[in-house]
Amino acid sequence: MVSRGYVPSASRIPAPDMSFARLFADTTVGWQQRGQYAIWTGANAPGDPKFQLLERHQNRVAVIVSNDEGAVMHKIASGRAFTVENVMGYWLSFDCDAIWLDLPNQNGQYTMLAVGGAIGKPAHAEIDCPCPRCGTALGRQSFAIGPRGFDRLLDSAEVWVADFNATEEKRTCPHCGGVHPATYGLVRDKSQQPHIGG
């Protein structure tokens, strides 16, 4: 006998999100906010520039990769700055956890990044780029993410990139004088390779 739990008879049973599926191979979808998650998936053919998760730990950068180049599932903790090479040219942190999936396969590489998992999250993001010499966060800016406002955050990130690129002062490290080169925004699909200068 399995307990199926207790459902108060007067309450509406919430409708489960049964119809949502994403194909890793469909690279046209981009970011999608669905239920409690903002979800991105990517696909690479063998030889394409790899999608590579980087995490920042204080002023050091950790490459999240399996020693045997096998599949990886990794939790990005709330508040941890990260970026994905060949997906976005800036670093992000959120006020909630995220899950990264890296699935090498015979077709190349499938990847997924899912941010959220709690009601109302992510509500807040920070964007910056680390100084290439000492790791100090440059141009750090906070963004409020309203309900279903993930698209707006992505638009704000493009504005942030244009401003960062146009303002050498923002790319210059106050500690060591290192200058971050111009960067790129979100790579929206595979036909759009990372480019500098926006």
What percent helix, strand, coil does the chain show, rounded to 5? 10, 35, 55
Sign of the dihedral defined by the CA atoms of residues 145, 87, 79, 178, in that order: negative
Task: Give least dist CB 128 to Zn ion, A.
Answer: 12
Task: Give least dist CB 132 to Zn ion, A.
Answer: 8
Longest dimension (CA), the chain: 68
The three-state secondary structure class of 169 is helix
Task: Give least dist CB 133 to Zn ion, A.
Answer: 4
DSSP assignment, residue 179? Answer: B
β-strands 98-105, 137-144 pairing:
unpaired
Starting from the edge strand earliest in sequence, which strands make up the sheet with 72-76, in order? Answer: 32-34, 37-44, 108-116, 98-105, 72-76
> Of 152, 115, 148, 143, which is closest to residue 41 (Cα–Cα)?
115
Task: Give least dist CB 131 to Zn ion, A.
Answer: 3
Task: Give least dist CB 174 to Zn ion, A.
Answer: 8
Chain residues in the site for Zn ion (CB under 5 A): 131, 133-134, 136, 173, 175-176, 178
